[in-house]
DNA sequence: TTCGGAAATCTCGACTTTCGAGAGAATAGG
DNA sequence: CCTATTCTCTCGAAAGTCGAGATTTCCGAA
């Protein structure tokens, strides 16, 4: 595989992110939300999937927002009925964020469909092929992550 | 490969986009730009790579912004010295956007390094492995794109 | 040629989102 | 009990975005 074809793979990765971004934007438009709001809801959903309850502060780090913006963000989402603020009983300074049932349902509806289609498309691949893909994606993600944090002189 | 492992692949795709997004955000912070500004510059750079000159209108579609916002966006970028407005000689309504040399250099510096590292990581793979990866990524991108445009009842 | 419609961009005013600084409330440690 | 720390929220200012409409330019038809 020559250099041009390898370069094409890099562009393919970028295209993937652009399209996935567009999906999020579509979801945002459908529900009258901003781009940041969707990122926040995805972060909350991800945390919930891992069994963790996201606090306002952690959410701020996740979406890279100042504390003031996080307050405004959560205000917005709460007003729209998408999340609830839940005071932590142990540390009463903390505020945990929970998605409302309607938000969970909307998210499952939208992203669940995408997820299902992606899994269906994977049915065409043999196990060893998917293993290669996983190794590739994991490695690329690691390289990208290194650049996202600090510029390595390589 | 069982269902959980396939699901993990989907999450891996998402992680990739999150990290790539973080890279863009880092570039934005480094140069005092907003998220939208970076998306715009990437769009202009991509068009330039294809040999096309991006007009203000097309840019607006690419980053999904109203014409008023595009004007403000280009104003910002021009004031910062990152792009130039160039009136089209044939159709004098149009305004083509060109990246300044400094912006090109900054972009090449930052994203060029990432690109190089990604290509280097690909060196570990055999040709037929990369072929599988390309087929996979192309197919996933297509599925995602379908969801980004309109919700298919599948 | 001239005119009206369409196209591309820009201007204007209002609203939303974000940030920086700092205040308030709760916890942890001495 | 007192202080330092942590977490969230409030406030005013700055930035970004949008909808509506103005301006300039192009194109096709009479």
Q: Could B110 and A151 be called an inter-chain contact, meaning their C-beta atoms sit closer than 8 Å?
A: yes
Q: What is the mean pLDDT of residues B130-147?
A: 95
- Answer whether residue B152 shows pLDDT above 90: no
B77 pLDDT band, cuts 50/70/90, is very high
CB < 8 Å to A13, chain B:
16, 20, 118, 137
Q: Is the predicted pLDDT of residue B29 greater than 80, yes or no?
A: yes
Q: Inform me whether the pLDDT recorded for B21 exceeds 90.
A: no
Spatial distance between the Cα atoms of B50 and A116, rounded to a whole number of angstroms = 34
Q: Inform me whether the pLDDT recorded for A1 exceeds 90.
A: no
Cβ <8 Å between A114 and B143: yes
State how far the Cα of B112 lies from the Cα of B122, in Å rounded to an integer.
15
Share of chain A above pLDDT 70, in %: 97
What does each C-alpha distance from A121 to A63, A73, B10, B72 come to in angstroms?
30, 36, 11, 41
pLDDT tens digits along B114-133: 999 999 999 999 999 999 99
- Among A71-80, B24-33, B68-77, the range scoring the smallest mean pLDDT is B24-33
Average pLDDT over residues B88-115: 91
* Percent with pLDDT over 70 in chain B: 97
CA of A61 to C1' of C4 (A): 56
State the average pLDDT for chain B: 90
> Whose CA is nearest the C1' atom of nucleotide D24?
B93
Whole-number Å distance, CA A88 to C1' C25?
A: 14
Model pLDDT, residue A152: 47
Q: DSSP strand E in B27-88: where?
A: 54-55, 83-87
Residue A154: pLDDT above 60? no
Residues in chain A: 154
- Could you give the percent of chain B with pLDDT greater than 90? 64
B111-to-A64, A110, A143, B50 alpha-carbon distances in Å: 21, 32, 12, 17
> Could you check: is the Cβ of residue B57 within 7 Å of any atom of nucleic acid strand C?
yes
Cβ A84 vs Cβ A100: under 8 Å:
yes
A153 has pLDDT over 80: no
| Residue A152 main-chain phi, psi, to 5 deg | -80, 135
Q: What is the pLDDT of residue B151?
A: 56
Q: Give the highest mean pLDDT range of B58-62, B78-82, B135-139.
A: B135-139
Q: Report pLDDT digits (tens) over A13-61.
A: 999 988 898 888 888 888 888 889 999 999 999 898 888 889 999 999 9
Q: Who wins on pLDDT, A112 or A152?
A: A112
Nucleotides of C under 7 A from a protein CB: 7-13, 16-22, 24-28
User: Residue A133 and residue B133: Cβ atoms within 8 Å?
Assistant: yes
Q: What is the mean pLDDT of chain A?
A: 90
Buried b / exposed e over B49-64, threshold 16 CB at 10 Å, is eeeebbbbebbbebbe
């Amino acid at each position: 595989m020559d250099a041009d074809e390898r370069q094409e793979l890099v562009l393919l990765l970028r295209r993937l992110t652009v399209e996935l971004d567009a999906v999020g934007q579509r979801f945002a438009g459908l529900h009258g939300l901003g781009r940041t709001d969707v990122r926040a809801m995805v972060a909350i959903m991800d945390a919930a999937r891992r069994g963790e309850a996201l606090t306002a502060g952690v959410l701020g780090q996740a979406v890279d927002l100042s504390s003031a913006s996080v307050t405004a963000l959560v205000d917005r989402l709460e007003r729209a009925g998408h999340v609830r603020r839940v005071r932590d009983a142990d540390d009463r300074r903390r505020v945990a964020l929970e998605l409302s049932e309607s938000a969970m349902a909307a998210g499952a509806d939208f992203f669940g469909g995408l997820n299902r289609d992606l899994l269906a498309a994977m049915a065409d691949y043999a196990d060893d092929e998917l293993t290669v893909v996983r190794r590739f994606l994991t490695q690329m993600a690691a390289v990208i992550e290194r650049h996202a944090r600090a510029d390595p002189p390589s």
